[in-house]
Amino acid sequence: MREILREIGMIARALDSISNIEFKEFDLTKGQYLYLIRICEKPGIIQEKVAEMIKVDRTTAARAIKKLEVQGFIEKKNDDQNKKIKRLHPTKKGKELYPFLKREGDHSNKVALSGFSEKEAEVLLDLLQRVRKNVEVDWDFVKKGNKREY
Amino acid sequence: MREILREIGMIARALDSISNIEFKEFDLTKGQYLYLIRICEKPGIIQEKVAEMIKVDRTTAARAIKKLEVQGFIEKKNDDQNKKIKRLHPTKKGKELYPFLKREGDHSNKVALSGFSEKEAEVLLDLLQRVRKNVEVDWDFVKKGNKREY
DNA sequence: AAAATTTTGTTGTATTTGCAACAAAAATAC
DNA sequence: GTATTTTTGTTGCAAATACAACAAAATTTT
């Protein structure tokens, strides 16, 4: 029954690949759409949290986000209370792009779920959320330098 | 209901990240385990098919596989009939590593499905296979340079 | 059988990715 | 209140990833 993880890997790589190709049109390079979408949906979020949400290395997120800033899709704002953090906000340019990113995601979703009933889609989401919660515990553990025993 | 794709992305990145960290111990660098596992399970497979199975660019697969060869995990053998293709086979060293890769995968699988009934795991696999089949049509299409309309 | 197309493999180049190591602010412990 | 630990962010470096462009064998078309 280990194929579950393999299926997930295949699906994720295929969709990511498609998105990367389709978003070149908007001058987004590999992976950038992931960050921009999250920042648009949660303005004021900090970099560290974006990395956690996406499940990517902190330093990778740092660079991707810096590039989004340089390109003028987002901006970093200092927090009044906390001098350490930088709150991320989409610029006008970023906000304008968002609907296109969303539309692409919606389309991929439709393709992915074609032939699914409403009920099946619901069940899938529920099961996947449970898998994700299970997996993120280990991800946190291992990323912090701990060793899984098995 | 678009969260399905996001969940899949999170799960895939988290698990891949864990595997990459855990396989450093065996001198496998990022991604290599994907290729080695497939070659061990389907000895004689050619590079092009490996890339298709994994859903990764042909040239990425080419380089990852070349590195596996240099490191002595696999070897490329010429085909008698077809002078163009090179059949991939695990070496003794590669075969010896396989059980460790498998064990790691089994463990991640167990973690991912913890709290799942037998039935639920089955349903999930079925749904994911359907998603994968849906998605790979678009992947082939887009990778070949075509443009999705939506 | 010759021509055109597809398949398979490679290399050059640009970019992303992630680990290690550092720094500074904030939060917690003593 | 000071010391320690955690959080957040950055940069240097090594490596993977993928696009473009090429080459040669195999297959299909004409």
Average pLDDT, chain B: 95
Q: How far is the CA of B127 from the C1' of D20 (A)?
A: 37
Say which residue, A8 or B1, is predicted with more confidence. Answer: A8
* CB-CB under 8 Å, A112 with B134: yes
Q: Measure the N-to-C terminal CA separation of chain A; round to a whole number of Å.
A: 18
The pLDDT assigned to A3 comes to 87
pLDDT of residue A91: 97
Q: What is the pLDDT of residues A65-123, one digit of tens each?
A: 999 999 999 999 999 999 999 999 999 999 999 999 999 999 999 999 999 999 999 99
- Mean pLDDT in residue range B29-33: 96
What pLDDT digit, counting tens, does each position of A138-147 carry? 999 999 888 8
Tracing tokens 């779920």 back to the chain, one arrives at: A113
pLDDT of residue B3: 87
Chain A positions touching B20 (Cβ under 8 A) are none
Q: Is the pLDDT of residue A29 over 80?
A: yes
Distance, in angstroms, between B23 CA and closest chain A CA? 12
Tell which strand D nucleotides have any atom below 7 Å from a protein Cβ. 7-12, 15-21, 24-27
pLDDT value for A27:
94
- d(CA B8, CA A79) in angstroms, rounded, equals 33
Q: Is B130 on the interface with A (CB under 8 A)?
A: yes
Position A60: which residue type?
T
Confidence (pTM): 0.94
Q: Is the pLDDT of residue B12 over 70?
A: yes
Cross-chain Cβ contact A124/B131 below 8 Å? yes
Residues contacting residue B35 through CB under 8 Å, at least 6 positions apart: B50, B54, B61, B64, B65, B68
Tens digit of pLDDT for each residue in B71-92? 999 999 999 999 999 999 999 9
A13 touches strand D (CB under 7 A): yes
Q: What integer pLDDT is reported at residue B1 of this predicted model? A: 64
- What's residue A1's pLDDT? 64
Residues of A (8-67) whose Cβ lies below 8 Å from B: 8-18, 21-22, 34, 53-57
What does the DSSP assignment read for B21-77?
A: HHHGGGT--TTHHHHHHHHHHSTTEEHHHHHHHHT--HHHHHHHHHHHHHTTSEEEE
C-alpha dihedral over B113, B114, B117, B123, to 10 degrees? Answer: -20
pLDDT, average across residues B8-14:
97
CA dist B101 and B109 (Å) reads 12
* A133: phi then psi, degrees, rounded to nearest 5: -65, -40
**pLDDT (0 to 100) of residue A93:** 96
Q: Name the nearest CA neighbour of B22 among A57, A149, A137.
A: A149
Tell me the percentage of chain A whose pLDDT exceeds 70. Answer: 99
Query: Are A138 and B2 in contact (CB < 8 Å)?
Result: no
- Edge-to-edge strand ranges of the sheet holding B74-78: B45-46, B86-90, B74-78
